[in-house]
């Protein structure tokens, strides 16, 4: 985990350096090119490609729509995250990323109200830990800002 944190930090600092040297669009392009090449490298192996295509083909249409919607939302999130890094401090932007768990908790609570059969049991089992974690995130963010 420590090594992953170090690499993530190095990646963020390198991204900020790229954005300082180029325009946002150029920086976005070059930073995402590595991800595209990695994804294509995985698809080169025929058995992996077949397994992925079989999985996608067997999914119900509603799941395919939700998968696609998830990818569009994730792409928008990445673009906004990268734009925030371009505009501001890498440390501050990464600290703000901790707030995503607050939003996940709120969305989970909302989903549990709308779809109780799917979410309620899992939410009820761990709600105390989630609230404590959310409070700790706010305390950490407060300490960083002030």
pLDDT tens digits, residue range 103-129?
A: 887 887 787 777 777 665 666 667 777
Query: What does the pLDDT read at residue 121?
Result: 62
Six-digit token string for 24: 């946002």
**39-97 pLDDT per residue, tens:** 888 888 888 888 887 877 777 877 778 888 988 998 998 899 889 988 988 887 877 77
Query: What does the pLDDT read at residue 76?
Result: 92
d(CA 127, CA 105): 9
Q: What is the pTM of this model?
A: 0.66
């Amino acid at each position: 985990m420590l090594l992953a944190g170090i690499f993530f930090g190095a990646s963020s600092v390198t991204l900020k350096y790229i954005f300082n040297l180029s325009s946002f669009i150029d920086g976005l392009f070059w930073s995402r090119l590595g991800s595209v090449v990695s994804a294509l490298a995985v698809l080169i192996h025929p058995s992996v490609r077949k397994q992925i295509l079989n999985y996608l083909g067997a999914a119900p249409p509603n799941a395919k729509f939700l998968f696609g919607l998830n990818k569009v939302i994730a792409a928008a999130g990445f673009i906004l995250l990268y734009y925030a890094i371009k505009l501001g401090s890498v440390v501050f932007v990464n600290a703000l990323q901790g707030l995503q768990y607050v939003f996940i908790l709120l969305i989970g609570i909302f989903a549990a109200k709308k779809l109780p059969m799917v979410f309620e049991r899992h939410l009820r089992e761990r709600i105390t830990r989630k609230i404590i974690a959310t409070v700790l995130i706010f305390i950490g963010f407060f300490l960083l800002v002030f």
